[in-house]
Chains A and B, each alone.
Chain A
Amino acid sequence: MSTILELAELGSLVKLDPALEPNELEWRIVYALPHLLPQLQTELPTYVSQWRVESSPLQQFDALLEVFCSGETLTFDRMFKPLTHIQDGIWELKTPDLRLFGWFPMKDCFVMGAMDTAFKVKSHNLYVGYANMVAYRRNQLLLDHPKFIPGKDPNDVVSNYDFP
């Protein structure tokens, strides 16, 4: 069994660099399972917005990573929440066109285990399917126990979650 840092050194997890601005500090961290790198590198830039909005899914992903990692308030209203619990400690981070599924091994540390377009996830109702798949991959990972923070309260998994 290994810590997150040891798994990152072994290449079993890959830390995503949010390319923060010079005046921003990295308060929250995102790791990805290595099988996602080709998707992030080659597929994500080809995704088009189902809403036909000016920000492409790639731009949305970059902006989400910046907001998440810089520790900004994540949500201001229940209508605009970008973080939702699915089941069994699996959470969904979202943009208008993307759905990222993962878990929190510790507060403010998200491990992304799957990503897809919002259109596909919603039209095929893949929420539980992705949650099960990511939970399986989490179990396969040689990560120290407890492997994830349980519960549904977003304040347990991220700091500065909502507007006071």
Chain B
Amino acid sequence: MSFRITISPKDQAAGRFVSRVRRELQKALAEEAQKRGLTQSGLARAIGVNRSVISRELRGHKDLSLSRVAELAWALGRRPVFDLVETVTVQAATSPEPDEASAPKL
């Protein structure tokens, strides 16, 4: 028995995208912390805001605007790349073959 929460595809796509953007920023900060010792305070100084703002934005307690994403990317020495990739629908391998009655008439 399995259970799937009820969420609209629209809300699911939006929630997962927001989560992905935030995680990419967290990952970049971790990489820059290893490379050059960058901290949240350093990041905040670079873009001219209080450290608590950066902390709340990266923890998901405050929304990230598109321009803030670009500012953070800049301060992290990164360039954000935005791409809209066409959705691919995968047919399950175990799908039954359509029977004669339901098959399209050629």
Contact = CB atoms under 8 A, between A and B. Distances in A.
Given A56-B11, A66-B16, A96-B61, A11 B3 contact: no
Nearest to A42: B6
Interface string A50-79: 010111101111111111000011001101
A117 interface: no
Choose among A58, A63, A64, A66 the residue with the greatest number of B CB atoms under 10 Å from its CB: A63
Nearest to A17: B4
Interface residues of B, number: 33
A16 interface: yes
B1 A79 contact: no
Interface of B: 1-7, 11-12, 14-16, 18-19, 23, 26-27, 29-31, 33, 40, 55-56, 58-63, 88-90
Closest 4 CB pairs of A and B: A59-B15, A63-B19, A96-B60, A76-B30
23 contacts: A9-B1, A14-B2, A16-B2, A16-B3, A17-B2, A17-B4, A51-B56, A51-B60, A53-B61, A53-B62, A55-B14, A58-B11, A60-B15, A62-B5, A62-B7, A62-B15, A66-B19, A67-B19, A76-B29, A77-B29, A79-B40, A163-B30, A163-B31
